[in-house]
Amino acid sequence: MKRVLIVVVLVIGAATLGLWRSHGGVRAGLSKAVGISSEDSQGEARDETRKSFELQPGARLDVQGINGKVEIQTSDTKTAEVYVLRTAKDSESLSRREVVIEQTATGLLVRGKEARHVGVWEHLFGSNPNEQVTIKAPRQIALSLKGINGHVTSGDIDGTIEAKGINGRVELGQASESAEIGGINGSVVVGLKQLGERGARLSGINGGIELRLGNGLNADLTARGMNGKVRSDIPEITVDEGDHGSRYSARIGTGGAPITLSGINGNVRLTRGESAATSSAASENKPAAATEKTEKSATDAKGAKNSGR
């Protein structure tokens, strides 16, 4: 009887040891797979990824499912440079998700997703990592942004812009073909340089909207289902208000491409837009001018002081 008990205890012990080793091996494999690069003295884990791709004019750039800020910088280039920074309170939290960066038949895909199965306890009391994505991309692309939990910005796009399911402020540079923006929990700023037959459609937005209209834009704007007002800061554009105050219309230039707004919980402003590049240059030149003025004032003051002597 004693021998039987000893054998049972040994079998249970061996099984327990095997499970413990197996579990430890899985965790180590996951850590290696997500590419954890460092962990600081406070226990915060960080992971950085940099990749570059060649993109043809008109290629599609898809950014999906990111838990954090997304910034798209555009210029006259053929190369897309992707930088992803992920941070979490510890390596266990960091391993819950990953950001996949891959070239596709139509362009480039940057997508956040779950990296491993999460149990009930970890699902309830754990935390996801924060993901910050910065992409330097060609201006001649079709840009698609979906399912992003954070602030989104982009430069000017010589193509179409699509932004849907975003929980945060959205600031987009000028679009040159079409724009489709919807399901936004935050304010929206978008530039419209030129529009094709599809025009621009904005719907389901919980926040104010600023439409920055290019000088040569010809379009017809209609708005319905508004919990707010539409007003123009451009002298030559007049906004007509419907009888009940929830419908608005305006002719931009000679009219043409449709700009449709619906389900907007906020006010809409029409402003005269300038490109993101022009705005950036202006902001960079402003401090320089201020510095020159300050230096000149200091020189004049020094001269006055010396003459007084």
* Contact call for residues 142 and 74 (beta carbons, < 8 A): no
**How large is the average pLDDT for residues 44-60?**
94
H-helix or E-strand containing 306? helix 276-308
**How large is the average pLDDT for residues 131-143?**
97
**What digits encode the pLDDT tens for the residues 148-171?**
999 999 999 999 999 999 999 999
- The residue type found at 230 is V
Residue 279's pLDDT is 41
Structure tokens at 176: 């040159």
Residue 162's pLDDT is 97
pTM, 2 dp: 0.74
Instruction: Identify the band that residue 44 occupies on the pLDDT scale cut at 50, 70 and 90.
Output: confident
**What digits encode the pLDDT tens for the residues 283-297?**
334 443 444 444 444
* Contact call for residues 100 and 109 (beta carbons, < 8 A): yes
Structure tokens at 13: 């012990």
Residue 49's pLDDT is 96
CA-CA distances (angstroms) from residue 55 to 64, 81, 263?
A: 18, 10, 36
How buried is 304 (Cβ within 10 angstroms: 0-12 exposed, 13-18 middle, 19+ buried)?
exposed
- The residue type found at 86 is R
Q: Read out DSSP for 113-171?
A: EE-S---HHHHHH--PPEEEEEEEEESSEEEEEEEE-S-EEE--BSS-EEEEEE-S-EE
On the question of pLDDT at 185 being above 60, the answer is yes
Residue 107's pLDDT is 96
Residue 172's pLDDT is 97
